Each structure stands twice: as structure tokens, then as C-alpha cells.
Amino acid sequence: MKVFISYGSAADQVTALRLQALGAVNGLTVYVPPAHTRQSPAVLLDPESGQKLKDADVVLGVIGAGVSEACRQELNTSRALPKPTIVMSDPLFAAQLQPYFGPNLVVIDPVNPDRTELAIVQHLKSIDAGQKAKKALIALGTLALGLLILAPQD
């Protein structure tokens, strides 16, 4: 099972790398784009990221600290391909992302994480994906939820 993690900004990469490590020990091949793709205002999708996106079975978006152009492009490409996708977002960016990602968007509620979990499950019920893909997405989505809520902040 190949997973592509598209993170919002360079600050979100650490969450993506933690998910990559946790996914790897559970047999998932997780690709996290390099940080420089988030630091330059590139108009075109990084070729390596584009290829990994095509190869991926599922796509997970992690947006906690901001949304870069690269992240927007990756998630739009994932929607166009189309790939089973979940975009986990901080409530701060929900309004900005809702028009683009609609039902793929799961807004993190730090006060009621069970609601977020329910939103993930409901979204997975609505998408057309294999059992393995759904399992991977629910596992990684839940881990992302925990990491985004519990990670210490400055």
C-alpha cells in the first residue's frame, strides 16, 4: 500500500514525517515531499511528487500551520486523478479549504476529537476505495488527528 502525504506548510512536515515512520512500521510505503517544495513559490508541481502521487494508492492531506501552493496543487492533482483522499485540517483553514476539497475535508476539533473521528469514518463510507485503502486512511487519519492535537507548540 503506497501512501502520499501532502502537508500544508514546512512546519507541518514534522507531522508528516512522524506519520511516515509510524506507517512504515505497519507495512505502508509513505512518501513525504521534501521541505523545499513548500519553501519556494513554485507554480508547477514538483516532478518527483507528481510521479509519487500517480503511484500512490491513497492520499492524506495534513494541514496544521498553513497551506502552501505545492500542497494545494498536490491535493488538486489527487482529486483529478482521482485517488481516495482525506484532508485533515486545522479549524483555522477550514473556511479557506472547504470550497476546494468539500467532502474530502475533515476539520480537526481539538475539543471533541471523537467528532473528527466520526467525520473520517463517514467520509470513508462515501468514497469508492478498497478495504485496504480505507483501513490505511482511517489509521493514518486517526494518527494525524492525535499528532496535530497533542504535539507540543511553541
Partner 1 sequence: MRPPTCTLEASCLIALDHLDLLPQLSLLFSRVLVPRAVRVELFRRRQTKDRLRAVLKSYAFVERCDDYDKAAVEILLIERARQGVKDRGEAEAVGRRLAPWLSSMIPGAAIWRSALVAVFTEPSGF
Residues forming a β-bridge with 2: 29
Minimum separation from the CB atom of position 36 to partner 1 (A): 5
Q: Is 32 in the site for partner 1 (CB under 8 A)?
A: yes
How many residues form the binding site for partner 1 (CB under 8 A)? 19
Write out the three cell numbers for 131: 478495504
Q: Do residues 37 and 49 lie in contact, with contact meaning Cβ atoms separated by under 8 Å?
A: yes
Q: Is 153 in the site for partner 1 (CB under 8 A)?
A: yes
Query: Which phi and psi angles does 31 have, rounded to 5°?
Result: -105, 130
- Per-residue binding letters, 39-68, with partner 1 (x by CB under 8 A): x-----------------------------
36, 54, 115, 132: which one binds partner 1 (CB under 8 A):
36
6-to-64, 84, 129, 147 alpha-carbon distances in Å:
11, 13, 19, 15
Q: Do residues 5 and 62 lie in contact, with contact meaning Cβ atoms separated by under 8 Å?
A: yes
| Residue among 12 and 133 whose Cβ is closer to partner 1 | 12
Q: How many CB atoms lie within 10 A of CB 144?
A: 29
Q: Is 13 in the site for partner 1 (CB under 8 A)?
A: yes
Q: Is 34 in the site for partner 1 (CB under 8 A)?
A: yes
Q: Is 35 in the site for partner 1 (CB under 8 A)?
A: yes
Cis status of the peptide bond prior to 82, with omega within 30 of 0:
yes
Q: Which residues bind partner 1 (CB under 8 A)?
A: 10-11, 13-14, 17-18, 20-22, 32, 34-36, 38-39, 151-154
